Amino acid sequence: MARLPNHEGLANQEGLADWVPGRLAEERPVVTVIGDSILDGWWEGTIERFCREAPAPVVQVQRRDFAPGGAANTAMNLAAMGAEVRFVSLIGEDPAGRTLLGQLRSTGVDVSHVVAHSAMTTTTKYRVSSGGQVMLRLDDAATEIPDAGLEEMAAAVPEAIRGSAAVVLCDYAAGALEGPVRNSILRHLGPRGDTTDSPDSGPSRQDTLVVVDAHHPGRWAELRPDLATPNAQEAARLLGTEFPGGAARCPFVEAHGDQLLSASGAGAVVVTLDREGTLTIRRKAPQDVATHRTWARPEAEKQASGAGDTFVAALTLARSAGLPLTTSVDLAQAAADVVVHRPGTSVCTTEELAKHLRGFADTALTATELAQHVDEHRRAGRRIVLTNGCFDVLHRGHTRYLNQAKQLGDVLVVALNSDSSVRQLKGPERPVNHEADRAAVIAALSCVDHVTVFDTPTPIPLIELLRPDVYAKGGDYTPEMLQETEAVERCGGTVTILDYVPEHSTTAVLERIRSTGETPKS
């Protein structure tokens, strides 16, 4: 399988935008999804009166839409992004089950391993809305899971996972992954290195990525999955504690990273935090945990559902195709951002993801345009953070610094030195990348909200125009050393000096490239 160079995050977003629809379509990695199916119903209508029997609105239904949800939505997203998908689940022999199977088949998902049982009820969630506002949700689900259906589903697992590049377990505690199904998964997809390639044991874990998306991730700890993707509530349950709200959640998760890894048994844990993005935790060394943050790009509430399924699908596909973990998480965040801006349950296609990534190109704003955006943010009560730099060859030191800067406020503005000013600062051989390319790369980072280019000796004119609440600077400076400090404080802001990471300097990266011809690995 072809591999993309080991870039940090979405640093090569333009290359990714071209690679996503092409390479994934060519490679078509086989991904098996095993889990609880849901049929999502979205019924939209108008309200003109209240019913006589009770003080309840009467919704005159004008439109009925149905879409696969839960594990079925993960399968749909994987297929839409170019994977060859096998689906293993248990549904009923009812209209909802037939609708679900029909929609899965229409997108090319292999449903030959889906068990339809007469004693099973297909879980259906009907959302009744008017004017874009959900008024009521009706859930129709099985009260008992037929043992015969579970036995049949368990028997389908070995063949479904054989030869798969990845397996996703979508365990929403609805019953499909209980008893014999769980035993079959553990037997045929045991911890990495514990299985053989015999007909009885299934494929070797050496060749299979295992992702656990579960309400109770600890339940699959003995499987030692490569990735676990709990949301905040599921991660809190894994730790046996409650999470703080708002901006405090991410630092709390980071502080408990070691416990999350141990409790989940996973090689890496990606905690999804809804509007606050995600935090990835992986073990760098026995006593050292590394993290990577992404930031969501939320818009007005659109009653979207299933963005988490899209995230898991894109993350799985990117990792199974050989992308680095940090790049895969950023790509998954981008895919989730696509669907969260739509009403209902939807999927992100390769073309839509590529278009979204390309949209970051040529995104540098003029000072006037930027000032207008900042004024809008300030009227909404958002705290503005400004930082500046060359950001020529993006590396881990840069992304760590920018993520720290983002956490100082609500909106992060990055001002890039123009090509001419970089030459004055760094010498005639710099910059390596043109200012338009540097702007596109920086804009693609989920922590960055706006990018501009400045050509003055210092960013003081921009500071006086934008009047940021915080001016962030990295390196071995003190506020007293910076010419900008007086302007920032005169405008009512504060100066914050962030971590200096000398081992990840651009100069060091360039020297290594020149000496070895290789890009440093993340």
The answer to whether the beta carbons of residues 498 and 477 sit under 8 Å apart is no
Query: Which of 217, 292, 294 minimizes the C-alpha distance to 261?
Result: 217
**What is the rounded CA–CA span in Å between residue 82 and residue 188?**
26
> Which stretch, 160-164, 240-244, 245-249, 517-521, has highest mean pLDDT?
160-164
How sure is the predictor about 3, in pLDDT bands with cuts at 50, 70 and 90? Answer: very low
Going along 349-441, which residue ranges are E strands?
Answer: 384-389, 411-417
**What is the rounded CA–CA span in Å between residue 394 and residue 390?**
10
What's the pLDDT score for residue 203? 41
Domains and CATH numbers, the chain: 13-358 (3.40.1190.20), 367-516 (3.40.50.620)
Q: What is the mean pLDDT of residues 373-382?
A: 90
Kindly tell me the burial class for residue 92, based on how many C-beta atoms sit within 10 Å of its own C-beta (0-12, 13-18, 19 or more). buried
Instruction: Say if residue 108's pLDDT is above 90.
Output: yes
The DSSP bridge pattern shows strands 209-214 and 227-228 to be parallel
> Which phi and psi (to 5°) does residue 127 adopt?
-105, 120
How sure is the predictor about 522, in pLDDT bands with cuts at 50, 70 and 90? Answer: very low
> Which phi and psi (to 5°) does residue 514 adopt?
-65, -35
Instruction: Say if residue 223's pLDDT is above 70.
Output: yes
What's the pLDDT score for residue 6? 38
Spacing of C-alpha 310 from chain mean position = 8
The answer to whether the beta carbons of residues 286 and 329 sit under 8 Å apart is no
Integer distance in angstroms from the first to the last C-alpha of the chain?
20
Side-chain-side CA neighbours of residue 282 (13 Å)? 15
Average pLDDT, the chain: 85
Instruction: Say if residue 161's pLDDT is above 70.
Output: yes
Low-confidence winner among 60-74, 201-215, 306-320, 414-428 (lowest mean pLDDT): 201-215
The answer to whether the beta carbons of residues 211 and 225 sit under 8 Å apart is yes
Catalytic residue numbers?
Answer: 309
How sure is the predictor about 101, in pLDDT bands with cuts at 50, 70 and 90? Answer: very high
Write the pLDDT tens digit of every residue in 439-460.
888 887 888 889 999 999 899 9
Q: What is the mean pLDDT of residues 299-319?
A: 81
Instruction: Say if residue 510's pLDDT is above 80.
Output: no
Residue type, position 160, single letter: A
Instruction: Say if residue 129's pLDDT is above 50.
Output: yes
Query: Which of 216, 36, 45 minimizes the C-alpha distance to 126?
Result: 45
Write the pLDDT tens digit of every residue in 61-94.
999 989 999 999 999 999 999 999 999 999 999 9
What's the pLDDT score for residue 197? 38
Write the pLDDT tens digit of every residue in 311-364.
999 999 999 988 889 888 988 998 998 888 777 677 888 888 888 777 665 578
The answer to whether the beta carbons of residues 181 and 157 sit under 8 Å apart is yes
What's the pLDDT score for residue 137? 92
Instruction: Say if residue 498's pLDDT is above 80.
Output: yes
> Which stretch, 208-217, 395-404, 468-477, has highest mean pLDDT?
208-217
Residue 109 tokens read as 């998902």
- The residue among 414 and 26 whose pLDDT is bigger is 414
Q: What is the mean pLDDT of residues 380-408?
A: 87
**pTM (predicted TM-score):** 0.77
Rg (the chain; Cα; Å): 25
How sure is the predictor about 399, in pLDDT bands with cuts at 50, 70 and 90? Answer: confident
**What is the rounded CA–CA span in Å between residue 191 and residue 97?**
33
The answer to whether the beta carbons of residues 281 and 217 sit under 8 Å apart is no
- The residue among 294 and 506 whose pLDDT is bigger is 294
What's the pLDDT score for residue 123? 94
What's the pLDDT score for residue 84? 95
**Most distant pair of Cα atoms in the chain: their distance:** 81
3-state secondary structure of 113: coil
Instruction: Say if residue 4's pLDDT is above 50.
Output: no
3-state secondary structure of 477: coil
What's the pLDDT score for residue 166? 96
Length of the chain: 522
What's the pLDDT score for residue 250? 84
Write the pLDDT tens digit of every residue in 5-45.
334 444 444 455 665 656 666 778 999 999 999 999 989 99
Residue 76 tokens read as 């749909």
Q: Is the dihedral of CA 333, 338, 342, 344 positive or negative?
A: negative
What's the pLDDT score for residue 176? 94
The answer to whether the beta carbons of residues 255 and 271 sit under 8 Å apart is no
Kindly tell me the burial class for residue 407, based on how many C-beta atoms sit within 10 Å of its own C-beta (0-12, 13-18, 19 or more). middle
What's the pLDDT score for residue 114? 97
Query: Which of 321, 328, 209 minimizes the C-alpha distance to 278?
Result: 328
- The residue among 306 and 502 whose pLDDT is bigger is 306
Q: What is the mean pLDDT of residues 498-512?
A: 57
Kindly tell me the burial class for residue 314, based on how many C-beta atoms sit within 10 Å of its own C-beta (0-12, 13-18, 19 or more). buried
> For residue 281, what are the contacts with CB-CB under 8 A and spacing of at least 6?
253, 254, 257, 260, 261, 268, 269, 270, 271, 289, 290, 291
Strand order of the β-sheet with 278-285 is: 84-88, 30-35, 166-171, 209-214, 227-228, 268-272, 278-285, 288-294
3-state secondary structure of 223: helix
Query: Which of 124, 105, 123 minimizes the C-alpha distance to 113?
Result: 105
